[in-house]
Amino acid sequence: MRKGFIQPLILIALASIFVSGVIYFRFKNKGPNQTALVVSSSVSPDAYSGWKTYKNQAYGFAIRYPEEWFVKEYGDWATDFLATDSNIQEASPSAIKVRYSRSTDKADLAGFEKIYKAKVGEDIYEPLDVKSIINKNKNFEVSNYMAVDYFINRNFSALEGPRTQHRHIYEINKDNTIIRFLATAQTENEFKIFDPIFQKMMSSLKF
């Protein structure tokens, strides 16, 4: 009698172990899929939340810029992005954070071609009275238009003593029209603070 009673208990125990194992492996395999669904359903935050949009109808592009900045247009050939409202007070040169301009001049087209063909990291000395060095960063494309990204560092003398100027420039050749975005800082520290904002602006450029 005791032997017959023990055998059913063993069978019940084995069955319980088997069922527990099935449940464990089902949940183990299902877990990552559930996690993946949660991740894929999340919405990425807008990197330009709160930023304004500038649209240029003449050359068919749009670019984002910080909410606290202002825009001043000069016809269809140039636009300043300013830290102060030029309608309230006259903007100083330091208030101009970014300037857009366009040119069909042969000298500007030749200058674009020269920098585009230069090697990345190559220094190009400008034929100016001041010490001016162009340092190429990269070639790239914007909506299938050739573009170049480069820096200009200048050192020159002034009445108040030696001065420096740091510029970051993006140029796009759209149908033999050079579209230029220029950011300028007077000191290296100012440049380090402002340049990431400028690069973020340029990442939003669309034709």
Q: Could you report the per-residue pLDDT of 2-47, keeping only the tens digit for each?
A: 555 556 555 555 556 655 655 555 545 554 444 444 444 455 678 8
Percent of all residues in the chain with a pLDDT value above 90, rounded to a whole number: 52
Confidence of residue 140 (pLDDT cuts 50, 70, 90): very high
Residue 206 pairs in a beta bridge with 62
Q: Helix, strand, or coil here: 172?
A: strand
Rounded to whole angstroms, the Cα distance separating 172 from 42 reads 35
| Higher-scoring residue by pLDDT: 179, 14 | 179
- Helix (H) and strand (E) counts in the chain: 3, 10
Q: Residue 161 has what pLDDT? A: 55
Q: Helix, strand, or coil here: 27?
A: helix
Q: Residue 51 has what pLDDT? A: 97
Prediction pTM value: 0.72
- Within 10 angstroms of residue 189's Cβ, the number of other Cβ atoms is 10
| pLDDT at residue 170 is higher than 80 | yes
Q: Residue 90 has what pLDDT? A: 58
Q: Helix, strand, or coil here: 132?
A: strand
Question: Nearest CA to 169 among 189, 192, 153, 145?
Answer: 153
Q: Residue 54 has what pLDDT? A: 96
Lowest-confidence region among 20-24, 150-154, 163-167, 169-173: 20-24
Q: Residue 95 has what pLDDT? A: 77
